[in-house]
Structure 1
Amino acid sequence: MKKIGVLTSGGDSPGMNAAIRAVVRATIYNGLDVVGIKRGYEGIINGDIKDLNLSSVADIIHRGGTMLKTARSEAFKTKSGFEKALNVIKIFGIEGIVVIGGDGSFRGAEKLSQVGIPTIGIPGTIDNDLAYTDYTIGFDTATNTVLHAVSNIRDTSTSHGRANIIEVMGRHCGDIALYAGLAGGAESIIVPEEKYSIDDVCKRLIQGKNRGKLHSIILLAEGAADNSYEIAKEIEEKTGIDVRLTILGHIQRGGSPTAFDRILASRMGAKAVELLMQGEKSRVVGIKGNEICDFDISKALSLKKEMNKDLYELAKILSI
C-alpha cells in the first residue's frame, strides 16, 4: 500500500481533527502518502481530494469540527454515484480509506470494502450509539458541554425557584442525557431506551419542593419525546411549579475536544493506519476496557446498542 485517503462523514464531532491528525502523521511516519477527501463521500464523487503533509494537520488537535468538512451524500447511495466514486478512487491511486463518522458513514465504508477497497472506520459521533465500542469520539466533549450548561441553568433556576427541562441530542441513544444527568445531579433523566411516567417526574419535583429545594433539573434526550414543550406544559400544570425548557441543539457538537477525546482519537487514528498496513480490508476501530481493538464492519453494525442500566438506576437512587 502506497497511498491512504481519509474522510469525515455525517455529523461532525469534537475530536475528528485529532483523528485526522493521527491518521496523517502515522501514515507519513510509515513512509506512505496520504490524501484528504473533502466533504465525505460527496468529495470522492466530486474529486475534492488534496495531498496532505505534516504541516497540513499542524495546530488542529484542539479544534472542534473537521478540517476536511463533512456532508451526507445521497448520490453515493445510487449506482451511478457509487461507480463514479470508484473511478475517482482509481484515478487518484487511493489504495485504502479511513472513514471517520457514525453508523451511516460505516455503511458507506462497508460498501467500499465489499468491492475490494480496504476501508477502516473510526467512530466519530457525539451520540455514543455504536454498540461495539465503549466510547465514540466526541461523546465525552458533548457530555461536558451539556454539564456546563446544566451548571449555568441551575444558577438561574435557583434564583427563580424554577424547574428546568434541558433537551439534549440523542434520537435513539440517551447516553448524553444519562451521563450528563448523573454527573449534574439531575432529578429526572428521560431517555428513549426506557419508558417514563410524567407523574413520577412530577412526584420527584413536588418532593424536592416540599423539603425546601429551590431548583430542579430534568435531562431529556430528544428521541424520548415528540414535543418537549408539551412535556414542560404538562409538568407545570400538574405541579404548579414554573417550568422552563432549554434546547441545547448544535452547541453540543462544537467546542474544543476534551483530553479524553483527543487521546482516544489519536489512538484510534494510529490503529486505523496500522490495520491498513497489515492488509486488513473491512474493519472498524473501537475501545473496550481502555484497550484499542477492531471488529469486522458488518458484525459491528449488526450489534444492538444497550443502555447502561446500572448507571440509570444509580442516577435514580442518587436523585431522591
Structure 2
Amino acid sequence: MSEEVLLDVQHLKKYFVVEKSFFGKPTSILKAVDDVSFQIKKGEAFGLVGESGCGKSTIGKMIVDLYQPTSGKIIFEGTDLTALPKKERRKYCKDIQLIFQDPYASLNPRMTIGDIIAEPIIINKLRPRNEVEKRVEQLLNYVGLSSAYRNRYPYEFSGGQRQRVGIARALAVEPKLIVCDEPVSALDVSIQAQVLNLLDELKEEFNLTYLFIAHGLNVVKHISDRVGVMYLGKLMEIAPKNELYHNPLNPYTQALLSAIPSIDPNKRKKRIVLEGDVPSPIDPPEGCRFCSRCFKRMDGCETFDCMLREVAPNHHVACKLYDNGMPDDAKKEA
C-alpha cells in the first residue's frame, strides 16, 4: 500500500428534500450524509460499516457521480471532482467504478454477459473492435467464469456468478478505485467467502483501491486495511482494522463489535444492548448523534461538536470522552 492519497473526501454532505411548501420552499430535509471526511490511500481497502440508513451507500453513490453532493469536496488524484463541469467529470468515470449490491437488478436481462462486459470497453474505446471479444474472455477468466459463458444471459446464472459478472464489468475499464457497495450481502455465506477472496486476489493482481461498504463486521475485517464506522450520517471512528477490532473507543463501535458471534467461549464479549430507537435523519440531535442511546452518556453530549479527533496514531474518534485525548485507563487497556 502506498502513502499517496488517491481519494480525499472533505466535509461531504448530502441532503434530500422530503417536503416542500406550496411555494416550493423545502420544509423537511433528510440529512443522509452530514459533514463526512476521510482519505483512501492508493492500494488500500477502506471499509465503511454501519447500520441501514446511516448514509454509507449514499457516500459511495456520490463518489461514482450517481448523486450530486449538497456540499463538500471529492478530490481524486488531486482534482476536485465536485468543481468540474459534467463533461469534464466524465473523463474520470472509467477510473472510479461501482460494484452494485444486487447482482440480479444490476445486469441488463436482455443482454448477454459478453455484451454487458464489452459495452464499457467499446464506449470508452479501450480496445480495437477486433480485440474486444478476446478481452471479454480474459476478464471472464479473471473472475473465475468460463469464456464459453459469454453468450448466455444473466437469468442463466446463480447470484454468485452474476456478481462475478458485475466484477468483470467493473474491471473492464481498468479502474483505479472500485466502490464495492455491499457486494456480498445478497449472497449465501459460502459464496460470500468466494467473492471476498476473489476481490482480494484482484486487488493484489491489478493494484486496485477499494471503498468497501458493508453491514457485516467480519466481512469488512477480512478485506479492509482501515475501517470507518458510521452512524446517522456521521463518521464515529476511523482506525486500522486490527486496532479498531481490538481497541474500539467510540461506544457505538463497542456495541457493534459486541454483537459479533463467536464459537470460542473465551473470545465472547459481553453483549451491549442499545436502548431506544435510531433518531430520525430528518431531525437529528444537535450534538452527538449517538447520545440518546449511548451507555456512556455524560453531561454536554447533547451539544458536543461530534467531529473526528486523532487520539492515537491513525486512530480517530468522535466522542466527548476523548475530547482531551485518550484517558489513562483507556491507554492501559490499549
Please indicate the TM-score interval, normalised by the length of the shorter structure: under 0.3
Q: Which has the higher contact order (CA 8 A, sep 6+)?
A: 1
Higher strand fraction: Structure 1 or Structure 2? Answer: 2
TM-score relative to the length of structure 1: 0.26
TM-score relative to the length of structure 2: 0.26
